[in-house]
Amino acid sequence: MQPRDLSAHEAYVPGRGAEEVARELGMDPDELTKLSSNENPHGPSPDAVAAIEDAAPEVHVYPKTSHADLTDALAERWDLASEQVWVSAGADGALDYLSRAFLEPGVRVLAPEPGFSYYPMSARYHHGDVATYHLSKADDFAQTPETVLDAYDGERIVYVTTPHNPAGTEMARADVVELLESVADHTLVVVDEAYGEYAREPSAISLLDDHDNLAVTRTFSKAYGLAGLRIGYAAVPESWADAYARVNTPFAANEVACRAALAALSDDDHVERSVDSAEWARRYFHDELDAKTWPSGGNFVLAEVGDATAVAEAAKRRGIIVRDTSSFGLPECVRVSCGTREQTKRAVEVLNDVVADVGVPEA
Ligand SMILES: *Cc1c(COP(=O)(O)O)cnc(C)c1O
């Protein structure tokens, strides 16, 4: 027996973990700093840790009230009705719910290239086809309505990532509005704000009042430091919000994650400190890295280093794990997550040495 034809599907390639790399190189994981997955170097909020400990003895019960409480808290935070908040297992789970709710077999989605690989993956899981729009390095990965609309051909879902992963660029709010108003009536625009807390532009969530062809995805994985728990959500228009009940996987967002997210949501100081720290690190990378970097609205920067695979490999042997963006179609760049001050300084030191050895391309 065989599964269905999966030849168009690609496996997700995550940033390598410190333990994994340590085993491979025979190093101690403590000697490695992982700056390859845009995680929060300050960890989760202490309040979230306490909530996780409190929830542990209760995990024999299905998550029901915790899910409802988190949904209500998010609705209040964003001034939405509770039905408009689709809590999910990571923002990736929310992308799946949107695929389930919108894709019929053979319909097409439009995703950025370079871009986050889960958009095409989710579409294909749900029997959709994938077209791409190009963000060009020559254009500094600018995200304008035209970059999307030039490639747009009536797709059912159009994905926008702002701040963009891996480039870091943002789409201005007025441009999101223009895009929403330019696409056909049947097209859903998904604005992925996985890095929204770090961004300069305000969230697109407030546009839901006036636009019913928009969904905004958010996550607790990045600024809230809860990546290991898999918790995120989509904010959707009131008019079709009841689809959630028909597409969600029962109890997919787990008890511990819901409780931790609720606690994290109340700890504004932790988020603020995390965002301030990332802003400092972005600046430091821009100023100190001997490589071209692009202005970033996220907790990472993209740096043009020449042979990314060689640079990432050499940096790893010196204890700094960065993301080689070859799999994003950028074999000359690495993406470096914002670390603590100490980690960020060390990363710059190592990368500058390595780039000097391996060589940067001629400008
Ligand atoms: C990290 C990330 C996500 C979602 O991550 P989850 O851990 O599934 O919440 C979504 N989109 C982009 C662009 C990301 O970088």
Q: Where are the domains of the chain?
A: 18-43+269-358, 46-266
30 versus 345: which is more confidently predicted?
Answer: 345
Q: pLDDT exceeding 70 applies to what percent of the chain? A: 99
Q: What is the pLDDT of residues 182-217, one digit of tens each?
A: 999 999 999 999 999 999 999 999 999 999 999 999
Tokens describing residue 304: 């043009």
Amino acid 362: pLDDT: 52
* Best residue for ligand 1 mutational test, from 36, 97, 141, 221 (most atoms within 8 Å of Cβ): 221
Ligand 1 atom 2: the closest Cα is on which residue? 194
Alpha carbon nearest to ligand 1 atom 6, residue: 90
Q: What is the pLDDT of residue 270?
A: 98
What distance in angstroms lies between residue 284's CA and the mean position of ligand 1's atoms? Answer: 24
Both structure tokens of 214: 């928009």
Within 8 A by CB and 6+ apart from 111, the residues are 119, 120, 123, 130, 131, 132, 133, 159
In sequence order, what DSSP letters do the residues of 245-303 get, joined into one string? HHHPPTT-S-HHHHHHHHHHHT-HHHHHHHHHHHHHHHHHHHHH-SSEE---SSSEEEE
DSSP state of 37: S
Residue 215 DSSP SS3 = strand
Q: What is the DSSP string of 70-121?
A: HHHHHHHHHT--GGGEEEESHHHHHHHHHHHHHPPTT-EEEEEES--THHHH
Token pair recorded at residue 18: 């410190």
296-343 pLDDT, tens digit each: 999 999 999 999 999 999 999 999 999 999 999 999 999 999 999 999
Q: Tell me if 18-43+269-358 shares its fold with 46-266.
A: no
Do residues 273 and 44 lie in contact, with contact meaning Cβ atoms separated by under 8 Å?
Answer: no
Has residue 360 got a pLDDT over 90? no
Mean pLDDT confidence for 169-187? 98
Q: Which amino acid type is present at position 153?
A: D
CA of 218 to the centre of ligand 1 (A): 8
Give residue-wise pLDDT tens across range 149-171: 999 999 999 999 999 999 999 99
356 CA to centre of ligand 1 in angstroms: 32
Alpha-carbon torsion angle 251, 48, 12, 59, nearest 10: -30
Neighbour tally for 138: CB within 10 Å: 6
Q: Give 103's contacts (C-beta < 8 A, 6+ positions apart).
A: 109, 123, 126, 127, 128, 156, 157
For 126-148, what is each residue's pLDDT tens digit?
A: 999 999 999 999 999 999 999 99
State the closest ligand 1 atom to the C-alpha of 232, by its place in the atom list counted from 1: 9
What's the whole-model pTM score? 0.96
Q: Point out the ligand 1 atom lying closest to the alpha carbon of residue 95.
A: 10
- Give the ligand 1 atom nearest the CA of 227: 7
Write the pLDDT tens digit of every residue in 49-62.
Answer: 999 999 999 999 99
pLDDT digits (tens, 9 = 90+) for 222-246: 999 999 999 999 999 999 999 999 9
Residue 363 has pLDDT above 60, yes or no: no
Q: Which CATH homologous superfamily contains domain 18-43+269-358?
A: Aspartate Aminotransferase, domain 1 (3.90.1150.10)
Which residue has the least CA distance to atom 3 on ligand 1? Answer: 194
- CATH annotation of 46-266: 3.40.640.10
* Contact by Cβ (8 Å): 194, 227: no
Residue with CA nearest ligand 1 atom 11: 194
Residues whose beta carbon lies within 6 Å of some atom of ligand 1: 90-92, 116, 161, 165, 192, 194, 219, 221, 227, 232
Q: Which of 165, 301, 335 to mutate to test the pocket of ligand 1 (most atoms within 8 A of CB)?
A: 165
What helix, strand, coil percent values describe the chain, rounded to 5? 45, 15, 40
